[in-house]
Amino acid sequence: MSGSLMSIGRSGLNAASMGIATTSHNIANVNTPNYSREQIQQKAAVGVQTGSSVQGIGVDVSGVQRSADALITAQVNLATSASAAATTQQSLLNRVADLLTQTETSITQAGDEFFGALQDATARPTSEADRQSVLSKANSFAVRTSDLDTQLGSMTAEIGQDLQTGVARVNANAQQISQLNDQIATQVGAGLSPNDLLDQRDALVRDMSKDIKVNALQMPDGRMQLFLASGDPLVLQGSVSKLSVVPDSGDPSSYAISIGGQTTGGIPHQLKAGVALGGVIGGDLLVQDDLADARNRIGRIAVGMAGAFNTQQTLGNDKSGAAGLPMFSTGPSRVVALPTTTGRVNVSISDPTKLQGSDYRLAYDGSQWSMTRLTDGTTTTFSGLPSPNTITASDGIKVDVGAIGAVAGDVFILQPTREAASDFQMLLRDTDKLASSNPVLGQATGTNAGTGNIKSVMVNGPTRDPNLLQPVSLSFTSATNFNISIGGSPAGTGALDANGNFSLNGWTMTMAGAARSGDSFTISPTLNSTGDNRNLVAMANVAKNPISDGQTLTSLNSDLAGIVGNRAASISVEATASAHLLDQVTQQEQSVSAVNLDEEATNLLKYQQAYQAAAKAISIADQMFKTWLTLAQ
Amino acid sequence: MRIATITLAQVGANGLSRSQSELYRAQLQFASGKRINSAADDPTGAVRAAELTVQKDTTAQYARNIGNAKNIMQFTDSVMSNISDSVQGARESMLQIGNAALSTSDRQQIALAMRGKLDELVNLANTQDESGRYIFAGYRDDTRPVQFSGGTANYTGDNGEKQIDLSASVTTTTNASGAELFFDVKGGNGVIETSAATTNTGAAKIDAGLVTNATALTGDSYSVKFSVTGGNTTYDVVDSTTGANLVSGAAYVEGSQIPVGPALSVSIKGTPLTGDTFSVAPAKTRDIFTTIRTVSDAVDAYAAGTINNAGLSDALRVGLANLDRGFDRIEQVRNRFGNQLAEIDRQTDIGTLRADDVKARLSDVVDLDMADAATKLSQAQTGYDALGKVVASVSKQNLFNYI
């Protein structure tokens, strides 16, 4: 009788000390990340039949249970990835937006100052100081633009570094998870519940989620399989795939993630493009696209400005009366051949005013070429090549496909403006070389009877007509019709159009007032025209005129800053939202799993009391036994 | 809901850090006076601010252009005002020379004074700006534009117009070329000019001619030649361009209109002698310099007896007509300058309004609303203080304190 009382008491003592031990374990781990609080599972031991009743025999502790909810844990992991991806993008994009909008780095500001210097020079075209100022501001515009491009380029390099560290962490974590999987499977196989190992594994998955999004699959043997968002397996039973950072096969200036079986020896392959991988890695990869787009756009600005100013320089005369030389040079267009491609093509810019600032995918199927604009997916096909062996796309680019013969299946990525700004340079060093004047001037002959005068003579671009400087005289036979003589020899007749315009030899003149029969006018080279500011006015007007795809420098800049700004703004909303979500689900998870000291204190008291009570029961049994012994004496 | 101890600590820490960053931002905003200190504060606002900054700079640049244009034009206008005065002076001299009561030497004295005005005018026409550029030379502003060669003034500049943008849409011409101001000016009555041959010996004088329909003019030159036979004065009219005889031996009636061509007639007064010839021709360009010089030369010729009274008087008539055309042109150009300067003032006003508007909009986007920011700062401060107290007291609360 007292034996069973003793054993009931002992089972109570046991259960209470296990409770105290578990509570102490919980208290000890109050600040351990990802620790799941534990509770002992106790139940009444099955009693024994004594006569007509069943006598209880104490308490059984069936195990120590871990308070964890796999669903909430998965949610926290997802939220961790999403938040890390958004925060990574936010901080990078904010830096880009700062570069584009702050006075010290913005090319808008530099462009403003350049056009301002040109405007100032129109008032004093002969002033050395003003001409120098034009060249200096042109130079700082070029330097600022290429600096900005370099900054964005170095951000890409930084992203590469960040990816390397991230990938190294993921690989290390994947290895550890795989090892833990084996240990857990062994313990589960032995019927044990490896609570602390499970916690450790969850902590590793959580840590990994910061770098990249993983989907976890619980296996019945206790192992956990991990898959990337792209569907590629990262951790399977007995195999861990290794991630590595590689140059993107479609754009070697960007990085991509490649996965290859480490233990299985599978062939490494680049992760599918267009899948948001999540985490810092996913965020980094996404921002690369923004950087590439921004660099394409900055390159387009460089090419557009170079095109407009080089044309205007060529159409004007410098101080010595010679045709102006180009003012800017830009970096070359780039072609990337995909690894399987055997042919080679060259791309160049044929018309800066038509550039779209996009990359293109050029594919050859053996008979025809198809060119896809990557910003919007528009595809144009060209057949009948390689003769002629040049594709002139309506987007202002020209592709020479005859370099090394392409074969069916060849694919090229064309980046017409990506590197243009990286080597954007101002070429003029001598103020005399600034083409400030217009090479031709229209004059009325003094004896004219009418009121007509030549209001302006514009030189037509984009290149100078070889006959531009031939002296032309127009002898009017009526108010609008005239005989033309070039260099003193008759050269047919001409007439003013409805707007009073007439074009010849690469110039267009505009007549104001009314000419009379017998009047004559000359259009001849401008001589000794130091005070001629017409070409400076034309250059200053580039600010108002479209330089690329119908857009002015200002609108191209605003677009660029606007696109990055909007991306930064929306990612900032996303970052706030995902951080909030992460807080929420983390609290939920903690609500389930983490330790509450008050609760543990209560438990401690509870188990202490149970312990004291059980001890009392044993002591009473002991007294009963002694009493019985006394009776037996 | 069950709250884990770590949650309490984290919520507190997160709250404190959020509250601290709010405080930091508010302080930064106060320090800079700007609401947007980096694109992170408000990316779209930062882009808008960059756009508005461009507009602000552009408006400031146009204001500078306006200042440049105004300086140049006001200087040019003041020179033109002097030119106008000198031309008036020369004109008065011409009128005085015409006074029949004056002696030849008096006339020569006045002619000398007129030569002085001419020198003054040539100097004014060759005015240079502060950087040594000739302001009336068109684009060839490093060449002295007006020079005499013999008795004729030559213009070596061109008709170039220097333009400056006053706004994105308004452009103004800031200069007047010598061609416009002095040389591309028609003499006579602006359409035709008449003159007596210097070899005339009679006392007849021709008037300026009468054009009844300018569009009917052929552009030919004509001459009227007199012959006196037995007291009868007759004249012939010849189209000197074609050589055709238009009128032969018509009787001369003093002061009557003599038709010389389509829509064109002249009136001759006084007594012509045989061989006296008068010509009518489309007006040629006559610059004021040569005009004054020619009159002055005529006074010398008169003094030397090379031309008679009628010859001098014709020279004065032609000179005055040409000088008046020249004066008209100078006033026209000054009038253009006046209108342009008025337009410049208008553009200045518009520019100022636009600059104010852009500034206000930029300020709306970037500048800090002090009252609002102060409220926010004090809210952030209160929040931070309260949260700090809560965190401190919550972390103290623990059942273990009681067991």
Both tokens of residue A201? 């594994």
Q: Is the dihedral of CA A432, A435, A437, A438 positive or negative?
A: positive
Q: Which residues contact A29 (CB under 8 A, 6 or more apart)?
A: A35, A37, A595
Q: What integer pLDDT is reported at residue A221 of this predicted model?
A: 92
Per-residue pLDDT of B12-68, as tens digits, reads 888 888 888 888 888 888 888 888 887 777 878 888 888 888 889 999 999 999 999
Q: What integer pLDDT is reported at residue A1 of this predicted model?
A: 52
Q: What integer pLDDT is reported at residue A390 of this predicted model?
A: 80
Q: What integer pLDDT is reported at residue A261 of this predicted model?
A: 60
Pick from A30, A446, A532: CB nearest B183 = A446
Pick from B47, B131, B285: CB nearest A126 = B131
In one-letter notation, the amino acid at residue A207 is D
Report residues of chain A scoring pLDDT below 70. 1-3, 261-266, 384-388, 403, 446
Which band of pLDDT confidence, cut at 50, 70 and 90, is reported for residue B239?
very high
Mean pLDDT of chain B: 91
Q: Do A444 and B43 touch (CB under 8 A)?
A: no
3-state helix, strand, coil in chain B (%, to 5): 55, 15, 30
Decide if A347 contacts A416 (C-beta within 8 A). Answer: yes
Which band of pLDDT confidence, cut at 50, 70 and 90, is reported for residue B373?
confident
Per-residue pLDDT of B135-173, as tens digits, reads 999 999 889 999 999 889 999 998 889 999 999 889 999
Per-residue pLDDT of A189-214, as tens digits, reads 998 889 999 999 999 999 999 999 99
Q: What CATH number belongs to B34-190+283-352?
A: 1.20.1330.10
Which band of pLDDT confidence, cut at 50, 70 and 90, is reported for residue B354?
very high
Pick from A98, A531, A599: CB nearest B160 = A531
Cα A349 to Cα A420: distance, rounded to the nearest angstrom: 10
Q: Which residue of B has its CA nearest to A440?
A: B160
Query: Of A347, A353, A331, A96, whose CA–CA distance to A361 is shortest?
Result: A347
pTM of the model: 0.85
Interface test with B, best of A524, A529, A557 (most B CBs within 10 A): A529
Which band of pLDDT confidence, cut at 50, 70 and 90, is reported for residue B115?
very high
Pick from A532, A587, A595: CB nearest B5 = A595
Cα A324 to Cα A337: distance, rounded to the nearest angstrom: 38
Residues from chain B contacting residue A561 (CB–CB below 8 Å): 46-47, 50-51
DSSP annotation of A467 reads T
Q: Where are the domains of chain B?
A: 1-30+368-403, 34-190+283-352, 195-281
Q: Is B61 on the interface with A (CB under 8 A)?
A: yes
Decide if A323 contacts A438 (C-beta within 8 A). Answer: no
Per-residue pLDDT of B67-77, as tens digits, reads 999 999 999 99
Q: What integer pLDDT is reported at residue A262 of this predicted model?
A: 53
Query: Of A386, A395, A385, whose CA–CA distance to A415 is shortest?
Result: A395
Q: What integer pLDDT is reported at residue A192 of this predicted model?
A: 86
Residues from chain A contacting residue B362 (CB–CB below 8 Å): none
SS3 annotation, A310-362: HHHHHHCECCCCCECCCCEECCCCEEEECCCCCCEEEEEECCHHHCCCCCEEE
Q: Is B403 on the interface with A (CB under 8 A)?
A: yes
In one-letter notation, the amino acid at residue B79 is V
Q: Do A561 and B6 touch (CB under 8 A)?
A: no
Cα B159 to Cα B137: distance, rounded to the nearest angstrom: 8
The answer to whether ipTM exceeds 0.85 is: no
Q: Where are the domains of chain A?
A: 2-67+595-632, 73-294+552-585, 302-426, 440-525
Q: Is B264 on the interface with A (CB under 8 A)?
A: no
Helix, strand, or coil here: B98? coil
Residues from chain A contacting residue B403 (CB–CB below 8 Å): 601, 604-605
Cα B61 to Cα A583: distance, rounded to the nearest angstrom: 52
